[in-house]
Structure 1
Amino acid sequence: MSDPKPLIAFEHPPCLQEYMISEKEFFQQNPQYTHLVTGAVVFNSEGNILLVQRAADEKAFPNLWEIPGGKVDSTDETILHAAARELKEETGLDTSRIVRKVGEFSWSEVSKKTGFQQHWQKLIFEMEVKDMKIVLDPNEHQEYLFATEEDVLKGKSADVALSYITPANKTIKLEAFKFRRQTIQS
């Protein structure tokens, strides 16, 4: 018998309670989707967003920039736990608080393995972390940086071109800055 997964502890506001469900429950409530993934928006103390660059030898989308995240597993306690787990696996960062849902988007594609249509849903959450000590998983990501909103808009941070998987990936980052700005102003 394998050891149980250690529990991931974090705070979250009541408005995120609907995401404290398992992958199985999500698919029961949303049968139109076949895959569920999460994304984690993390800001540093200067208000810049963490971006990670996919490894050059990744099969899917090598060298492109994204926020940390990945597939929700059947062994994840809840969707929010999956987001915290993915953040930890990809960056070494421990989630202390999930602040808000930033957004979501979906897409469809035909599976190269099965030939069947797949329908993906991605849920993105802003997260606060305990310590900003980043350790990338080299199998998944090769670099990281903290980008300003202007960097995201122009697609460049210093001398680094910020190429994204899809336009929706760029849009969600800009939404995160918008939400953060609204919170600071209120």
Structure 2
Amino acid sequence: MRIVTGALVFDVEDPNTPRILLLQRSANDSMHNQWEFPGGGCDDEDESILHAVARELWEESGLQANHISGPVGDPHFFTSRSGAKIWKFSFAVQAKTPPEGRLMARLDPTKHQRFVWASLAEVMAKKVANIELDFTTLELVATILQAFDHLEHK
């Protein structure tokens, strides 16, 4: 069994319209061109699951975790396409704001091809401006919606 993590990062520059970071998977990767939030597997070198969340956020978006809140929603158990048994834990993460003042993702093009910051309305419409959001799984969308709820009741 493998443990994976997810980082639910919000840009709250406009507190009336928080936006969540979404990444589009590379055209050459599995689930190509679909949207997800940053995350990935826990490595043997990770000191804890929270360390894995922070590391994956950095590796996938170039953002540094400033604070990690408790888990969002229940862990999600599933079997990968390769047959691996996976437990996914997702956490609300506050990213460090860089000196220039705007949260900007830096992507590894072998993993992700672009990013968007999406409001709750945009997630529900599955569209940001002219970009269609084809999410990887229904469970991922449910977790995103729980993250917005978590943010609102924080």
The answer to whether the superposition gives a TM-score over 0.5 is yes
Q: Does 1:38 align with 2:9?
A: no
Structure-1 residue corresponding to 2:86? 120
Gapped regions of structure 1 (runs ≥ 5): 1-33, 112-116
Q: Which has the larger radius of gyration?
A: 1
What is the alpha-carbon distance in structure 2 between the residues aligned to residue 48 and residue 100 of structure 1? 19
**Helix, strand or coil at the partner of 1:57:** coil
Change (3 A) 1:88 1:49: same
Distance 2:54 2:113 in 1: 20
Equivalent residue pairs, number: 144
Shift of 1:64: 0.4
TM-score, L = length of structure 1: 0.74
Following the alignment from structure 2 to structure 1, what is the Cα–Cα distance between the partners of residues 52 and 129? Answer: 32
Aligned counterpart in structure 1 of residue 96 of structure 2, from 111, 119, 130? 130
Q: How far, CA to CA, are the matches of 1:148 and 1:130 in structure 2?
A: 20
The residue number in structure 2 matching 1:151 is 122
Alignment match, 1:50: 21
**What is the percent sequence identity of the aligned residues?**
38
The 1:91–1:110 alpha-carbon spacing in structure 2 relative to 1, beyond 3 Å, is: closer
Render the CA deviation track for 1:5-33: whole Å, top value 9, x for unaligned: xxxxxxxxxxxxxxxxxxxxxxxxxxxxx
Q: Which runs of 4+ in 1 moved over 4 A?
A: none
Q: Pick closer, same or farther for the CA change 1:156–1:76 going to 2, 3 Å.
A: same
Q: Structure 2: which amino acid aligns with 1:42?
A: V
SS at match of 1:43: strand
Identify, as 1 or 2, the structure richer in helix.
Answer: 1
Q: Which has the higher strand share?
A: 2
Matches of 1:107 and 1:182 in 2, distance apart?
28
Distance in structure 1 (CA, Å) of the matches to 2:109 and 2:124 = 27
Q: 1:109 to 1:84 in 2, by over 3 A?
A: closer
- What is aligned with 2:64? 94
Q: Shift of residue 110 of structure 1?
A: 6.2
Structure 2 CA distance, aligned partners of 1:180 and 1:157?
A: 20
Q: Match of 2:147, SS?
A: helix
Of structures 1 and 2, the one scoring higher in RCO (CA 8 A, sep 6+) is 2
SS in 2 for 1:138: coil
Gaps of 5+ in 2: 98-102
The Cα offsets for residues 133-162 of structure 1, whole Å up to 9 and x where unpaired, read as 321111111100100101111211111111
